[in-house]
Amino acid sequence: MTCRRLMLFLLLCLLLVFCVNGFAGTGVPIVIGESRQLHSVVLDEDRTYQVFLPDSYAWAQGRHYPVLYVLDGKSHYAHTAASVDYLAAQGEIPEMIVVAVASTNRVRDFTQTDWASHWVGGGGADNFMRFLSSELIPEVERSYRTDGFRILSGHSAGGQFALHGLTSEPTLFKAYFALSPSLNWDDRLPQRSLQQALRATGSLSAFLYVARSDDAGQALADYEALVATLRDDSPHGFRWHAQAFPEETHGGMPLLAQIDALRSLYAGYHVHNDQLGEGLAAIEQRYRKVSEAMNWPMAVPEDVINRLGYVALGEGRTGDAIALFRRNVDASPESANAWDSLADGYAASEQWSDAAHAAEQSLALATRYELPNHEYFAGQLKKMQGYLQQPPAD
């Protein structure tokens, strides 16, 4: 099985887990996120959107998250939420909220002009942008703990709209994903308007990801013209990445391109285990560089600090390990995992009372937030209490 087919198979399996309605014979539902509705005064209609929250959202009460806004939510919510959840769990991207907006009239909402000779009813992109900026985004930011970093992702006509967003409201989002965008609209207006906007801009703190599928003929020429515009006319501070998926169909490529777009946006974010030996100072410098590239503060993630702590434990540097674990507890005092690691650090230095206290905090948090690995934390507390009563022999 090729790497690409293996990835597709794994994603399909993950999507099946997310989308199943219930376990056979038990009737216990499996639900991914929630569906909400907002009446839009701008559009004069009700709009439905779905929201996926990361695992830590329930317990990390002081944590705020970037938001990925996805167009054509009915088609792209499930695979995007699954990909975001998996990539974040692997430490490749930060945890984030996914907001997927269901479409009603795509031609109206995603096109800049009325191209009556080819399509009827276009030209509402500016109005749809007002809906996003004045209604949906404020509603999301009132309802959830967001950090102000917004990403807009669209496919096909939605990708055309993402390009329009970059040209018309370049600061509304920090990143734009245009997956197989429709570039032929109104005599190739998307490329022409982007070129004009980039040439007129001295600097731009934003990121654009563009991707194509198995395009040929004029569609391929249009895409190559867009890439040439990005290569020749990008202003200072503007990051972009173009990626071809020549073996993928127009409809299937977002499954892979969404993943690649997120990885490209957060290039340098992931720390491989082999790099942990560089030490804390080098890791902190790494995230400063990522922050500079994104023009957005990116702290060293809890998981990376945690792995550094266990490297220190393995090398016998228990004081350093405890300091690293304590750093995570101070940053995320409601993280059961952070307290559990701190308990391991204290146990390694034979500070049994502190180890038992940390394990007790860990179990209390696991109980409060109904974490699935509750039995593990209970076992850890029992072990630490046993050490407190009778320390292990040397």
130 near 42, Cβ under 8 Å? yes
- Give the model's confidence band at 26: pLDDT under 50 very low, under 70 low, under 90 confident, else very high: low
- Mean pLDDT calculated for residue range 246-262: 97
pTM to 2 decimal places: 0.92
CA 169 to chain centre: 21
- Give the model's confidence band at 345: pLDDT under 50 very low, under 70 low, under 90 confident, else very high: very high
First to last CA, the chain: 50
162 near 143, Cβ under 8 Å? no
- Taking 90 as the threshold, does the pLDDT of residue 389 lie above it? no
Place of tokens 């993280």: 335
| Confidence at residue 19, expressed as pLDDT on a 0 to 100 scale | 45
- Taking 50 as the threshold, does the pLDDT of residue 2 lie above it? no
| Confidence at residue 5, expressed as pLDDT on a 0 to 100 scale | 43
Of 238, 193, 243, 188, the C-alpha closest to 213 is 243
d(CA 375, CA 394): 28
Can you spell out the DSSP letters for 77-122? HHHHHHHHHHHHHTTSS---EEEEEPPS-HHHHH-SS--TTT-SS-
